[in-house]
Chains A and B, each alone.
Chain A
């Protein structure tokens, strides 16, 4: 059974704190993604990675960074958390197929982050 796990379901942090969100997949997928989900806005891509040590900016990378030191793990870092980063964060992974082919993304359960 395919699995994407995220380190926390709920997290509460203070403004200015450094926050780490961890994502692990056990499917040997090449691609990994971080999204944030906000009501009425759907899912917006923050960063993604097609391979170890490789990262690309998504649509809203400002205020975030990522790290992919191992194939199975993709970390999202908030260097200095702000209240407007309060959101649901979703991690996903997919096979590294040719870019035009079917490529289902498998999602983790999400981390609901509140920044006070």
Chain B
């Protein structure tokens, strides 16, 4: 069945780059998403990538997609304490639903 996997925790120092990784199983996914959840809040869309792209850059965020390995990553440059949150990757499957990973809790230390 469809599955999306992420590591649960990542800790970085302020100013460093953060890289959050995700693997998925459905090769027919059309879009892949990164959502951010701040403490006590719902999820907000951070960025997305269409499956025919390899890379997408948006200010401090870089998304890399390796379709062959079904691997997605989110890089946050110059990580700030305000970036501390849980980050979810999700794939958009043929049934029109989103399949979410477990979420990676990013902790940014000053």
A binding-site residues for B, Cβ under 8 Å:
4, 31, 33, 35, 40-45, 48, 50, 58, 90, 92, 99-110
A-facing residues in B77-110 (Cβ within 8 Å): 88, 92, 94-98, 100-103
Interface size class of B (residues with CB under 8 A): 20 to 34
Query: What is the number of contacts between chain A and chain B, taking CB atoms within 8 Å?
Result: 61
A99:B94 contact, CB within 8 angstroms? yes
Residue of A nearest to B44 (CB): A107
For the complex of A and B, the 10 pairs showing the least CB-CB separation, nearest first, are A99-B96, A107-B42, A42-B102, A43-B100, A107-B43, A42-B100, A109-B42, A100-B30, A42-B103, A108-B42
**Complex Cα–Cα for A90 and B44 (A):** 12
B42:A110 contact, CB within 8 angstroms? yes
A100:B94 contact, CB within 8 angstroms? yes
A99:B41 contact, CB within 8 angstroms? no
With known contacts A101-B30, A107-B43, A108-B42, A43–B88 Cβ distance under 8 A? yes
